[in-house]
């Protein structure tokens, strides 16, 4: 099912109960859904766009451009079948939200994840990776969350492929290349894994489902 909207920023009209927040941004019919932590961690406090406004965000955007997930970097990057959002979209009063704060925000992210139904989730950082494993895979008890080891590796989920991304603030030499190479290899495969059921329906239009 396609979501019909041409809005790039906050296409689902999220309105959390906070003065400042950074809504989801990108293609509402994306194949790739990037999930970060919160605005003070990964950027967007001033721009209101996830993964913008910091040196680490710029590094991450550059890698996504190289992998074909963004057309260009900037304060309003141009997504290519990609959506960007946060576990905790409100700008926290301190440097880190509380556990209760994260729990309160989960419903907004889950709504975006299920509305977009991307084929690939890219959780950025340890907290987002733990959340993705717990909520969208059956692998949480089987996978040790060590981000340098998990970075750019594939974990199969319940309807999604999960590619954890090490926090760009902690990237070592080679981390950007590893992510780009992994995404290039993935896109060279039939990662959508869709079947055309159009032959069972009236008309000539394809009807592709996972």
What confidence tens digit (pLDDT) does each residue in 147-159 have? 999 999 999 988 8
What confidence tens digit (pLDDT) does each residue in 11-51 have? 999 999 999 999 999 999 999 999 999 999 999 999 999 99
R_g (Cα) of the chain, nearest Å: 17
| Other C-beta atoms lying within 10 Å of the C-beta of residue 197 | 11
How far is the C-alpha of 69 from the C-alpha of 185, rounded, in Å? 13
* Sheet with 25-26, side-by-side order of all strands: 25-26, 82-86, 32-36, 120-123, 161-162, 155-156
Structural domain spans, the chain = 25-209
pLDDT given for residue 183 in this prediction: 98
pLDDT given for residue 67 in this prediction: 98
pLDDT given for residue 209 in this prediction: 43
What's the CATH code, domain 25-209?
3.40.470.10
Strands 82-86 and 25-26: antiparallel
| Residue 173 token pair | 């030499």
Alpha-carbon separation of residue 134 from 38, 88, 131 (angstroms): 18, 16, 5
Q: What's this model's pTM, rounded to 2 decimal places?
A: 0.89
Ranges of residues in the chain whose predicted pLDDT is under 50: 194-200, 207-210
Backbone angles phi, psi at 191, to 5 degrees: -70, -20
pLDDT given for residue 151 in this prediction: 98
Cβ 120 vs Cβ 160: under 8 Å: yes
């Amino acid at each position: 099912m396609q979501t019909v909207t041409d809005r790039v920023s906050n296409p689902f009209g999220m309105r959390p109960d906070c003065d400042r927040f950074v809504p989801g941004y990108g293609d509402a019919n994306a194949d790739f859904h990037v999930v970060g932590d919160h605005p003070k961690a990964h950027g967007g406090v001033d721009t209101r766009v996830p993964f913008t406004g910091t040196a680490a965000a710029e590094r991450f955007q550059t890698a996504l451009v190289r992998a074909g997930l963004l057309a260009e970097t900037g304060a309003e990057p141009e997504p290519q079948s990609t959506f960007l959002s946060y576990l905790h979209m409100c700008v926290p009063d301190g440097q880190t939200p509380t556990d209760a704060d994260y729990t309160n925000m989960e419903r907004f992210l889950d709504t975006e994840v299920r509305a977009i139904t991307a084929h690939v989730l890219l959780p950025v950082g340890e907290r987002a990776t733990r959340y993705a494993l717990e909520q969208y895979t059956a692998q949480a008890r089987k996978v040790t969350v060590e981000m340098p080891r998990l970075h750019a590796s594939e974990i199969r989920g319940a309807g999604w492929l999960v590619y954890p991304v090490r926090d760009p603030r902690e990237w070592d030499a080679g981390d950007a290349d590893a992510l780009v190479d992994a995404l290039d290899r993935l896109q060279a495969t039939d990662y959508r894994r869709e079947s055309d059921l159009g032959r069972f329906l009236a008309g000539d239009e394809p009807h592709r489902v996972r």
